[in-house]
Amino acid sequence: MTAIVGVLNSQGIAIAADSAVTVTGNNGKKVYNRSNKIFTLSKFHPVGIAIYNSADFMGMPLETIIKMYRKSLGESSFNTIQEYKDNFITFLRTQLVNVSPELRKSAFFGFCSEAHLTLINNTIDSLSQRNTELIGIEQPDKLVIYHEVVSEELEKYTAKLGTYHQANYTNLSFEQYCIHYVDELVAIEDFIQAEINKEFEGFILNEAHRASIKTMLYALVNIQFIFEKHCGLIFFGFGETEIYPSSHLVLVGSLIADDLRFIIGDPVKISPGVLNSNILPYAQGDVTTTVLTGVDPNYKNEVKQSVKSTFNDVSDQIAAILNNAEQSAAIRLALGTISDTLIQKLEEYQWTKITGPLLEILAHMGKEDMSELAESLVNITSLKRKFTSSNSADESVGGPVDVAIITKGDGFIWMKRKHYFDINNNQSFKDKYFTT
């Protein structure tokens, strides 16, 4: 995991990132504190990129891809950061030829696991609740119950998938999808059957179930939410025609056939009079949000829910006492309005007394202070993780903090940077940096 914080005003953008990377294996988790997460996207122009959540995409190290892109870019530039972002995504697509068939298959199984593991667990739980009914009956009768339960679970989960916001990651039709993944889909169906059969002997899937499983898995493809293992890419700095800095976030998920699943976040652009400054927590942002708003985001959500829940409870109790539907409805409406007003007043206080004044000061901060603020927010996040985690492997923010700032005039400047080598002992690296 990662903590990355961006601090922006009209002068530029400062980015700070920790160095922790969590590696998960058969023996558990291990945290290393030497990972690089901030990079120059161009050697010649004021644009950078930061990564989080995953250091590789489909087995390809993102650091390698970034440096290959930087080399291919050379002295070329774009007018906006959005164009850099779009061009990088195009370049990333060209590198998919390096992904082996074995890794593509493994990634597809991982992508589908959210659905088929849920189906397995839900079916086993539902059958367990009918265990007394299954005892003592013949196998054909058991199969009737098995098929009834798995049909219900397939229907419920597929309906749930239909409630999610949809995107258009691929134009692959259902038929094309089934042809492309014919072997993988059969393997998943067989896996589902084998896992449930371990708990309920004689369980089998019929052809209708197998068809429904294919439909369910196809429904995952164009769900807007990137739920699978993904990497976050943050593009920041100035395009050639941009006088103010901006930050653009892209979440890159799995590969479906030959198409990427990715979400492009709303850009954050400094525009005096509209947005003079901002603090952006890109990953593990609870501590940064607490500083920015004056309250822990989890606590804030709990307060909102508690206020609404309490006013609803009061409405129910009054309704029970009055035993008058018309009066009860009027009181419920009034109390609902009061609860909304209370929450709104709390939000207004937060903005006028805490967030607003902080951003007003930030709008006039110098470059050094912006960098210090970004670094401090990462350090505070690391400190919180250290003293609130019960397991050292869960201390997923830590190590040296890298800090960079980009301004229009000076470009990409490292304020703090760790090296895995001594730059003074590597003259050849310095000599070739701008020549290759």
The answer on 137 and 155 residing in a single domain is yes
The answer on 254 and 198 residing in a single domain is no
Domain boundary among 205, 221, 237: 221
pLDDT at 423: 75
Q: What is the pLDDT of residues 233-246, one digit of tens each?
A: 999 999 999 999 99
The answer on 217 and 130 residing in a single domain is yes
The answer on 417 and 353 residing in a single domain is yes
The answer on 120 and 90 residing in a single domain is no
Percent with pLDDT over 90 in the chain: 74
DSSP string, 156-174: HHHHHHTTSPB--S----H
Task: Determine the structural domain holding residue 115 and report its residue range.
Answer: 101-221
Contact 111/184 with Cβ under 8 angstroms? no
pLDDT at 27: 64
**Residue 397, token pair as written in the block:** 């923010």
Cα distance between residue 41 and residue 45, in whole Å: 8
Token match 């493994």: residue? 106
pLDDT at 370: 96
pLDDT at 425: 76
* Confidence check: pLDDT of 294 > 80: yes
The answer on 382 and 241 residing in a single domain is yes
pLDDT at 283: 81
pLDDT at 392: 45
Residue 427 lies in a domain: yes
CATH number at residue 301: 3.60.20.10
Domain boundary among 203, 221, 239: 221
Residue 335 lies in a domain: no
Confidence band of 422 (pLDDT split at 50, 70, 90): confident
Is 193 buried (19+), middle (13-18) or exposed (0-12) by CB count in 10 A? middle
As a whole number, the mean pLDDT across the chain is 91
Residue 373 lies in a domain: yes
Cα distance between residue 32 and residue 18, in whole Å: 11
pLDDT at 428: 76
Contact 46/411 with Cβ under 8 angstroms? yes
Q: What is the pLDDT of residues 105-163, one digit of tens each?
A: 999 999 999 899 999 999 999 999 998 888 888 888 999 999 999 999 999 999 999 99
* Confidence check: pLDDT of 1 > 70: no
The answer on 370 and 294 residing in a single domain is yes
Residue 314 lies in a domain: no
pLDDT at 389: 60
Q: What is the pLDDT of residues 73-111, one digit of tens each?
A: 999 999 999 999 999 999 999 999 999 999 999 999 999
Cα distance between residue 381 and residue 396, in whole Å: 10
Contact 4/37 with Cβ under 8 angstroms? yes
* Confidence check: pLDDT of 337 > 60: yes
Cα distance between residue 245 and residue 404, in whole Å: 14
Report the domain count for the chain: 2
Cα distance between residue 71 and residue 68, in whole Å: 5
* Confidence check: pLDDT of 221 > 80: yes
The answer on 108 and 94 residing in a single domain is no
Residue 234 lies in a domain: yes
Average pLDDT over residues 271-276: 93
Domain boundary among 221, 236, 269: 221
* Confidence check: pLDDT of 393 > 50: no
* Confidence check: pLDDT of 25 > 70: no
